[in-house]
Amino acid sequence: MNNRSSALRLILLCLLFLTLAMTVDAGVTGGTTRADLLPERGLRTSCLRMDVYPTSQVSLYAPGYAFSYFSDQSDYLYDGYLVLGNSADNLSYSTAIRGTGIPTPSNPFGYLWPDSEAMTIDSVSPTGHRVAAGKGYNRDSTIMFDVRWFASKHPDTCDTFIGEFKIYKGPNGGTVTGLTIAYFADWDVPSDSLNYNYSGVDPSRSMIYQRGAYTGGPNNNASRYAAMGGLSYRRQIIGGFVLPSSVYIYPEGGVFENDSIWNRMSILQNGQFSTAPGSADPGVGTGPATDLVSVLVLDRNQTVDSNDTLYYGVVLAGQPVGGTLSGLKNAIDEGYAFCANRNLVPGAFFECYCGDCDGNGVITISDAVCMICYIFAGCPPPTPICNGDANGTGTVGISDAVYLINHVFFGGPAPFCP
């Protein structure tokens, strides 16, 4: 009997310890646990779908919902999430509900926590798009964030998802200083050899990308791409980099090693975008590639008190088999145009003069030429990109050049912004 009583007391103590551990790590008033977290599976375009969560996390590698193309059921994204913190010992990221790495004494990161079990989705009232909305906290509830993910219904912009993050003071603690805000994406673009990818950058678009590798398999996986572009309410993000998973992810069982990632985010120069060492995109189908992850540093050294609200965004874009790098860049541009035309990430964009592709302040045939050159000949994009949206659809394409020609030569309607 005494042995049974001792065993019962031991079980109760263990349960109490686990409950306290979860409470301390969460630091969330009225929040839910990671085990409660449910994906929102209604977010899709006409060619893609992706799970989204109120913690800012996407995918969590659920086949068919992992930035997955309907055409060949290919999955591109293992997972992605915000990274928030102000030191190597105070970083929050991941939700770890699918067996990825856990915090340890030597790597004491904290999880991102949801404020509710699932996101809400609206696919009816918005014109031309679907939106999923949620709310989350950092490890100790000193920071809160609202997250919204957008998916266009238009088939010409089906390769893109847009995330917007509104960051503000949480219920715990005082003013937060020195805050870094980043977004992580573990792209696994389909390849002939495991998920080994090449990497590349386009600083003019605040874009980092990965490409599949082709070694003679049945699909031309070298024509598959995935990219991430960043937005900040301060108009310019800090920069971005692509890293080898074998160095930065594998040693900690699926998450970053805090000191390493904090160091990389801290030493990144303003405007710097770098490829993974030894895995830069050679522009051809064969050669060495490896498992990679991508990080955009959206901002750093920020102060957040009760009066502050910070806005950031990411554009996730891809190209299915048969895609091109120019097609990928166009998908990123379309994501930016979507944001600009709907005033997402307030402050991120210059005022648009829709139709003024060449930026000289007047609408002439040169703007149509500028658009045609951008779309077909790889010329620089309109600056800002929303200047190319002559017909007010929220996207930039050949229809805008046709619209301009009709206006200039045949007295058609003037360009307008929605």
In a domain, 322, yes or no: yes
| CA angle 102–105–107, rounded 5-degree value | 60
User: Does 123 have pLDDT greater than 80?
Assistant: yes
- What are the pLDDT digits (tens) for 347-360? 887 677 889 998 88
Strands 225-232 and 309-319: antiparallel
Residues 162 and 302 in one domain: yes
User: Does 300 have pLDDT greater than 50?
Assistant: yes
Q: What is the pLDDT of residue 287?
A: 58
**43: which residues sit within 8 A by CB, 6+ positions away?**
49, 50, 51, 52, 121, 130, 132, 149, 151, 161
What average pLDDT score do residues 225-243 get?
95
Residues 141 and 171 in one domain: yes
- Residue range(s) defining the domain that contains residue 60: 31-341
Least confident of 110-114, 226-230, 324-328: 110-114
Residues 143 and 232 in one domain: yes
Residues 356 and 335 in one domain: no
Residues 100 and 220 in one domain: yes
Banded pLDDT at 13 (limits 50, 70, 90) = very low
Q: What is the pLDDT of residue 286?
A: 55
Last residue of a domain, one of 292, 320, 341: 341
Residues 367 and 336 in one domain: no
Q: How far is CA 53 from the centre of its chain?
A: 13
What average pLDDT score do residues 324-333 get?
95
Burial of 148 (0-12, 13-18, 19+ CB in 10 A): middle
**208: which residues sit within 8 A by CB, 6+ positions away?**
199, 200, 201, 202, 227, 228, 240, 241, 242, 273, 275, 294, 296
Contact 57, 42 (CB under 8 A): no
Strands 113-114 and 90-92: unpaired
Last residue of a domain, one of 341, 372, 405: 341
What average pLDDT score do residues 143-165 get?
96
In a domain, 396, yes or no: yes
Beta bridge partners of 167: 145, 310
Contact 105, 218 (CB under 8 A): no
In a domain, 13, yes or no: no
In a domain, 270, yes or no: yes
Q: What percent of the chain has pLDDT over 90?
A: 59
CATH label of the domain that carries residue 359: 1.10.1330.10
What is the residue whose two structure tokens read 């030894």? Answer: 278
Banded pLDDT at 116 (limits 50, 70, 90) = confident
Residues 229 and 363 in one domain: no
In a domain, 246, yes or no: yes
Q: What's 393's DSSP letter?
A: S
Residues 211 and 288 in one domain: yes
- What are the pLDDT digits (tens) for 24-71? 344 444 455 554 577 888 999 999 999 999 999 999 878 999 999 999
Beta bridge partners of 227: 209, 317
Cα–Cα dist 350/395, whole Å:
17
Q: What is the pLDDT of residue 418?
A: 56
In a domain, 158, yes or no: yes
What average pLDDT score do residues 12-26 get?
41
Q: How many domains, the chain?
A: 2
Q: What percent of the chain has pLDDT over 70?
A: 87
Amino acid at residue number 312: Y
In a domain, 8, yes or no: no
Residues 58 and 85 in one domain: yes
Q: What is the pLDDT of residue 100?
A: 59
Amino acid at residue number 256: F
In a domain, 21, yes or no: no
What average pLDDT score do residues 380-400 get?
84
Contact 332, 210 (CB under 8 A): no
Based on DSSP, count helices (H) and strands (E) in the chain, helices before strands.
6, 18
Banded pLDDT at 121 (limits 50, 70, 90) = very high
Last residue of a domain, one of 341, 366, 397: 341
Banded pLDDT at 395 (limits 50, 70, 90) = confident
User: Does 11 have pLDDT greater than 80?
Assistant: no
Residues 335 and 363 in one domain: no
CATH label of the domain that carries residue 107: 2.70.98
Tokens describing residue 180: 């870094």
Residues 265 and 403 in one domain: no
Residues 314 and 372 in one domain: no
Cα–Cα dist 400/358, whole Å:
13
